[in-house]
Structure 1
Amino acid sequence: MTRLGAYGKGAFTRVREEVTAIDLQVTGVIPNDLDGRYLRNGPNPVGVEHAQFHYYLGAGMIHGVRLRSGRAEWYRNRWVRQSAVSSALKEKPPAYLVLGGMDGASNTNVIGHGGRILSLVEGGTLPFEVGGDLNTIGAHDFDGGLRSGISAHPKLDPSTGDLHTLGYFAGSQVADYNVISAAGQVVRSEPIDLPNRPMMHDFALTPRYIVVLDLPAVFSPLAAATRDPFPFRWNAKSKARLGLMPRDGAAKNITWFEIEPVWIYHTVNAFDLPNGVVMDVITHPSMFAKGRGLIEGHGMPSLERFTIDLVKGRVERARLDATPQEFPRIDERRVGLPHRFVYTASAPDLVQSWSAGPEDFAQLDDSRFDNIVYKHDLDQARSTGRRFGRDAAVGEAIFVPRREGTTVEDDGYLLCYVHDPDRGSSDLVILSAQDFEGPELARVHIPVRVPLGLHGSWIPAGVGDE
């Protein structure tokens, strides 16, 4: 019997059925230029996943709302059909290609690229293609171009349309830097040696470099030998380092910089300086230090800036905001370029061990921080929090630019799922990014609950079949 632990309760409680709801009720007015689907992925266990269940291992479920012509046409939630999911649902096993026998839960992100909608997870599993109705089409290897899957957080170069990614098998000492063209062809693959076998959830991209994160959350052969389903541990003896690899160079051209031990799930963005790179990130003091891959109790995540100086040969760290937060997003037209605005979500479940908290918390009227979306104006050094109702369980907020062709950063919308405890279900909330503290533009009422999950994207009309 599956043991769900802390991440099977409360806002994380799994849903047990797939739902299709048509012509959703809306409060407010949905902007007419929002023509597409907001999709978000996340673990939603089904069947017997493992006796030592870990949140990261739950079967992927994609939740989506289709917006068009000022209407919310539908809400759907669908499990990504993999072997374990089909078996648990007593369906015919899917026929698809797996890479190196890897069929891990595709539960972390969902993106659009090359005209396809792709469900992603790191660790060697191939992307899974889903249709516009969220039904699974199958594993996708870009015509045989992938050797190790792709990362959960690939980066789209806004100037070329190319998708850049780092892929690796859990436990491998090599990661593959892949470049996938706008047409969906792997046009470059460069192996990078990483002898410490780190977990790499993210990386960063600039016009000149990719930034590789080689941090002390590493694969543990001992944990693997005990059949731990998530065999990564914090190794205090392992060096923490950042690598700058020229985009037109090879792995042998990487310049490595040692830093103080830290854990980074998510980079915000990075951009070039004449003599280096600036990279904004969300940092954690450590991760998986308590064994069994536990996520909790590793100190407060905060927003920081790392300045990597090639001339001085060092990295300088500066804290931008100490409030516990995670899931950073930007206007993705600024990927690799200097950015002014960052949007994050409060992160209570990652900071269960904090006792007093920073002074920033004194103004808050309760001890729950799962109901706030933050907007950071880095040019003005100003951070604003938008609090939703108690027990709102707000997830990642994504930025969608207005369709009229504006190139102004922050000129667009923020979309996020928000739990409504009075209805026992969820809403898709649409905000003006520029008028962040103003009234909601629209609230799409979903007839069921959307659990807290991981990452998602705005998929414009025309990507994936309808």
Structure 2
Amino acid sequence: MKNRFLEGRIGPVAEEITARDLPVTGRIPPELNGRYLRNGPNPLGIEDPQAYHWFTGDGMVHGVRLRDGRAEWYRNRWVRSRSVAERLGEPWPSGPVFADRDAAANTHVIGHAGRTLALVEAGIRPYEMSYELDTLGPFDFDGGLPGGYTAHTKRDAVTGELHAVAYYAGWDYVQYIVIDAEGTVTRTVNVPVEDGPMMHDFALTQKYAVIYDLPITYNAGLAKTGARLPYAWNNDHQARVGLLPRHGDSGEVRWFDLEPCWVFHTLNAYDEGDTVVVDLTRFPRMLQKGGLDGNSAPVLDRWTIDLNSGKVLQETLDDHNQEFPRVDERVVSLKHRYGYTVASDSVFDTGSGEVMLKRDYARGTTERRLFPVDSAVAEAVFAPAAPGSPEDHGYVMAYVFDPERDATDLLILSAQDFTGEPVARVHLPARVPPGFHGSWVPDLD
């Protein structure tokens, strides 16, 4: 039996590429000076293809550098964990690893305090990369991280702080971490939890860190079998959401029970009077057998946490299958108007078209941009036209596979003309396999 994660458009690419002066259809906005980066699993050699799980593949960062209306370069580089460096026959860059948890970070890539950081979770620290995507080594913010880190951070655009919630199977707590705009860890809070829950994401408002304690937990039975992802659905674990005051301690967390569900990704959250509003994508069930088969499809939800009644109103805003929610990063923790998701029947080659969605939360409407069959549309990332421009004034960027070329384009859309002709298509010389998350990282100068 073959492994679908190793075949077709989702299969790994075999080599690293550097290409310069990329061809472009359309016109790259000259104000876009920086790098579009995206991380995802790209396994380097598989000893047992049947045991491979997409969530655990070696990370590879793909990047396009834009400057002065040109696409200066495309690079794809494996994150050099110790194992990847050995397989490539290279010296490991070395660095501060936590609890022997070392892996090629494969989930996200961000810029913060002038650094480029590849992220994953479950006790693994970030890997720092150079501007040109060479691996510099594991990074603990100059000794500030007590343990591992997370795949999903939230930057407060008002303060410049980077917020995170980290988990690790060896802890009986999860850890809330705040890093200031200069890259110094200023605050850690250990929040007690039971059963070792997975916490892939969280939410942030101006008042609270919103913690999802949901029924996917560490599974010792799976761990004994050698499973690389020893987490599974746990019917005995009460689903709940916690509000930790951003300047409070663990004793001030307030918990609210939920109907059982799973959340991989938050769109955004904000405070509104005596409520906290959280927009996210929700799975009714996930990892029921420790894998991705047989699970329910994700829908777009709004959770309104009422501080007076102690209850959570869970509403489905759009029941179409969709994931990878994003907003303009400048409104994280503030009330947003627009959000983006991607809809697809499957990550595999299914012969179905794919859709990128833009929701207007003020009007309750959704625009749908349909792509050709097998386009493998990636997560949409918003890039503002200027630092002080309004929320919708900017560009939506994503990698989109072109089956006719058997290669990928970087698609640049006008956010205000979401379904219109693309502003530009940057034609990459290779396929970018479907992956997870990325960022627009503007140049600092």
TM-score relative to the length of structure 1: 0.92
Letter of the structure 1 residue corresponding to residue 63 of structure 2:
G
Q: Which residue of 1 aligns with 2:366?
A: 383
Q: Which residue of 1 aligns with 2:315?
A: 318
Letter of the structure 2 residue corresponding to residue 125 of structure 1:
I
Partner Cα separation in structure 2 for residue 300 and residue 410 of structure 1: 29
Letter of the structure 2 residue corresponding to residue 452 of structure 1:
P
Instruction: Give the aligned length.
Output: 444
Partner Cα separation in structure 1 for residue 434 and residue 104 of structure 2: 17
8 Å contact 2:82–2:94 — kept in the other structure?
A: no
Q: Which residue of 2 aligns with 1:343?
A: 340
The 3-state SS of whatever aligns with 1:333 is helix
Aligned with residue 17 of structure 1, among 7, 15, 19: 15
8 Å contact 1:281–1:303 — kept in the other structure?
A: yes
Q: Which residue of 2 aligns with 1:355?
A: none
After superposition, the C-alpha distances for 1:28-69 in whole angstroms (9 at most, x for unaligned) are 000000000000000000023666211111000000000000
**Per-residue deviation, 1:122:** 0.7
The 3-state SS of whatever aligns with 1:172 is coil
Partner Cα separation in structure 2 for residue 49 and residue 412 of structure 1: 45
Q: Which residue of 2 aligns with 1:31?
A: 29
With over 3 angstroms needed to count, the CA separation of the structure-2 counterparts of 1:49 and 1:214, relative to structure 1, is farther
The 3-state SS of whatever aligns with 2:137 is strand
Letter of the structure 2 residue corresponding to residue 368 of structure 1:
S
With over 3 angstroms needed to count, the CA separation of the structure-2 counterparts of 1:351 and 1:78, relative to structure 1, is closer
The 3-state SS of whatever aligns with 2:416 is coil
Aligned with residue 413 of structure 1, among 388, 395, 403: 395
8 Å contact 1:49–1:57 — kept in the other structure?
A: no
Q: Which residue of 2 aligns with 1:45?
A: 43
Choose 27-36 or 167-176, whichever is displaced more. 167-176
Letter of the structure 2 residue corresponding to residue 448 of structure 1:
A
8 Å contact 1:399–1:414 — kept in the other structure?
A: yes
Partner Cα separation in structure 2 for residue 398 and residue 103 of structure 1: 28
Q: Which residue of 1 aligns with 2:382?
A: 399
Letter of the structure 1 residue corresponding to residue 415 of structure 2:
A
Partner Cα separation in structure 1 for residue 324 and residue 47 of structure 2: 26
Q: Could you list the runs of 5+ residues in structure 2 that have no partner in the other structure?
A: none
Q: Which residue of 1 aligns with 2:407?
A: 425
- Runs of 4+ in structure 1 deviating by more than 4 angstroms, as ranges, are none
After superposition, the C-alpha distances for 1:349-403 in whole angstroms (9 at most, x for unaligned) are 2799xxxxxxxxxxxxx9714x211101111111111012211110101000012
The 3-state SS of whatever aligns with 2:55 is helix
8 Å contact 2:9–2:348 — kept in the other structure?
A: no
8 Å contact 2:117–2:126 — kept in the other structure?
A: yes
1:296 counterpart = 2:280:
no
8 Å contact 1:109–1:121 — kept in the other structure?
A: yes
Report 1:184-195 matches (<5 A): 184-195=183-194
With over 3 angstroms needed to count, the CA separation of the structure-2 counterparts of 1:49 and 1:186, relative to structure 1, is farther
Partner Cα separation in structure 2 for residue 36 and residue 49 of structure 1: 38
Letter of the structure 2 residue corresponding to residue 449 of structure 1:
R
The 3-state SS of whatever aligns with 1:41 is strand
Partner Cα separation in structure 2 for residue 94 and residue 401 of structure 1: 35
8 Å contact 1:43–1:56 — kept in the other structure?
A: yes
8 Å contact 2:256–2:310 — kept in the other structure?
A: yes
The sequence identity of aligned pairs, in percent, is 48
With over 3 angstroms needed to count, the CA separation of the structure-2 counterparts of 1:321 and 1:23, relative to structure 1, is same
With over 3 angstroms needed to count, the CA separation of the structure-2 counterparts of 1:49 and 1:455, relative to structure 1, is farther
Partner Cα separation in structure 1 for residue 420 and residue 128 of structure 2: 37
8 Å contact 2:93–2:136 — kept in the other structure?
A: no
**Per-residue deviation, 1:175:** 1.2
Aligned with residue 328 of structure 1, among 322, 325, 328: 325
**Per-residue deviation, 1:421:** 0.7
Partner Cα separation in structure 1 for residue 167 and residue 272 of structure 2: 29
Report 1:416-455 matches (<5 A): 416-455=398-437
**Per-residue deviation, 1:104:** 2.4
Partner Cα separation in structure 2 for residue 277 and residue 126 of structure 1: 30
With over 3 angstroms needed to count, the CA separation of the structure-2 counterparts of 1:391 and 1:460, relative to structure 1, is same
After superposition, the C-alpha distances for 1:222-256 in whole angstroms (9 at most, x for unaligned) are 21122211100101121000001111111111110
8 Å contact 2:31–2:386 — kept in the other structure?
A: yes
Report 1:183-222 matches (<5 A): 183-222=182-221
**Per-residue deviation, 1:4:** 7.0
Q: Could you list the runs of 5+ residues in structure 1 that have no partner in the other structure?
A: 353-365
The 3-state SS of whatever aligns with 2:99 is coil
Report 1:235-274 matches (<5 A): 235-274=234-273
8 Å contact 1:324–1:351 — kept in the other structure?
A: no
Q: Which residue of 1 aligns with 2:222?
A: 223
8 Å contact 1:178–1:190 — kept in the other structure?
A: yes
1:368 counterpart = 2:366:
no
With over 3 angstroms needed to count, the CA separation of the structure-2 counterparts of 1:201 and 1:49, relative to structure 1, is farther
Partner Cα separation in structure 2 for residue 278 and residue 462 of structure 1: 33
**Per-residue deviation, 1:320:** 0.8
**Per-residue deviation, 1:273:** 2.0
8 Å contact 2:378–2:400 — kept in the other structure?
A: yes
The 3-state SS of whatever aligns with 1:224 is helix
Letter of the structure 1 residue corresponding to residue 359 of structure 2:
H
The 3-state SS of whatever aligns with 2:221 is helix
8 Å contact 2:83–2:103 — kept in the other structure?
A: no
After superposition, the C-alpha distances for 1:108-156 in whole angstroms (9 at most, x for unaligned) are 0000001100000011111111011101011110111112222111100
The 3-state SS of whatever aligns with 2:40 is coil
TM-score relative to the length of structure 2: 0.97
